[in-house]
Amino acid sequence: MRPYILAEANWKHIHDQPIDLAILPWGATEAHNYHLPYATDVIEADAIAAESARLAWEQGAKVMVLPTIPFGVNTGQTDILLDINLYPSTQKAILNDIIEVLNRQGIRKLLILNSHGGNDFKTMLRELGVRYPDMFLTTCSWFQTLDKTTYFEEPKGDHADEMETSLLLHLRPHLVLPLDEAGDGAAKKWKVQGLREGWAWAERKWSKVTADTGIGNPKAATAERGKRYFEDVTQKLSGLLVELANLDVNDLYE
Ligand SMILES: [Zn+2]
């Protein structure tokens, strides 16, 4: 039983345990090219949250990982079989209810550990921060913590790419099809220059952009690359968890 994982903990052990920081991993359930499981983002969220929390716990941080929310925003994938969409307004309602519990029980710091590119919690946290002024609300996407170019041959992908495939080969190799069965993750580019360059934004209609649902070629993925990336991501995140857990919310700026 890991005392910093709520799903494994029991009330006997945690009812008088101090908790300085709650961590809410948030994934998605969606197709990941031909070769990765629908739960890819959930598997990554579970594993990265648990290992980061373990490292933080060993440094004395009183953290608690809540169960991963398995569904994310998939508004651009309405025609892809069983991609389960939660609207952002639904996410905000879920988040509100979780924050209400934490706030009532005096657990005043929350980190949403995001595992899916379609999720975007910033505007929600702005709004919920007004509603719950005693809460310190933070969010972080683990896939933005490191520069992928130093880990992978094809760092430009963003969905079921070499990075995600390497991670799954490290974390759940039995759920990854042989890579010769994967699509090449080729993705079409926007015709509009500003969208193509990324300084303007519109949602991508996924099935028009990629044939295999992947974006980024997964073929160079290896378990070793996944392990190295996983260790560095969780190491870096554990530093954030320690800082947040120990943070005096009345003394935030220097
Ligand atoms: Zn993913």
Residue 252 lies in a domain: no
In the chain, DSSP assigns E strands to 21-26, 63-65, 109-114, 136-141
Q: For residue 105, give both structure tokens.
A: 């029980």
Domain assignment present for 181:
yes
pLDDT at 75: 97
- Kindly compute the dihedral angle of the four CA atoms of residues 109, 111, 112, 114, in this order, to the nearest 10 degrees: 180
Separation CA 108–CA 11 (nearest Å): 20
How far, in Å, is the centroid of ligand 1 from the Cα of 192?
26
Q: Is the pTM of this model over 0.85?
A: yes
State the distance from the centre of ligand 1 to the C-alpha of 218, rounded, in angstroms: 12
Average pLDDT, the chain: 97
**CA 13/CA 9 separation, integer angstroms:** 7
Q: What pLDDT sits at residue 95?
A: 98
Please report whether residue 253 resides in a domain: no
Give the tens place of pLDDT for each residue, 43-53: 999 999 999 99
> Is 52 a domain residue?
yes
Contacts of 90 (CB under 8 A, 6+ apart): none
Q: Do the domain assignments include residue 92?
A: yes
Which class for 44: exposed (0-12), middle (13-18), buried (19 or more C-beta within 10 A)?
buried
The answer to whether residue 160 sits within a structural domain is yes
Structural domain includes residue 1: no
Each residue's pLDDT tens digit, 141-160: 999 999 999 999 998 899 99
The first and second tokens of residue 210, run together, are 């990629």
Q: How many domains does the chain have?
A: 1
CA dist 19 and 7 (Å) reads: 15
User: What tens digit of pLDDT does each residue of 201-217 get?
Assistant: 999 999 999 999 999 99
Q: Check residue 235 and give its pLDDT.
A: 98
CA of residue 143 to ligand 1 center, whole Å: 10
CATH number for the domain that contains residue 62: 3.40.50.10310
Distance 144 CA to ligand 1 centre (A): 13
Cα dist from 180 to 15, 184, 223, whole Å: 50, 9, 16
Question: Cα(164)–Cα(170) distance, rounded to whole angstroms?
Answer: 10
Q: Which residue has the tokens 């947040």?
A: 244
What does DSSP assign to residue 160? S
Range of the domain at 70: 6-246
**Ligand 1: centre distance to CA 2 (Å):** 26
In the block, which residue shows the tokens 């952002």? Answer: 88
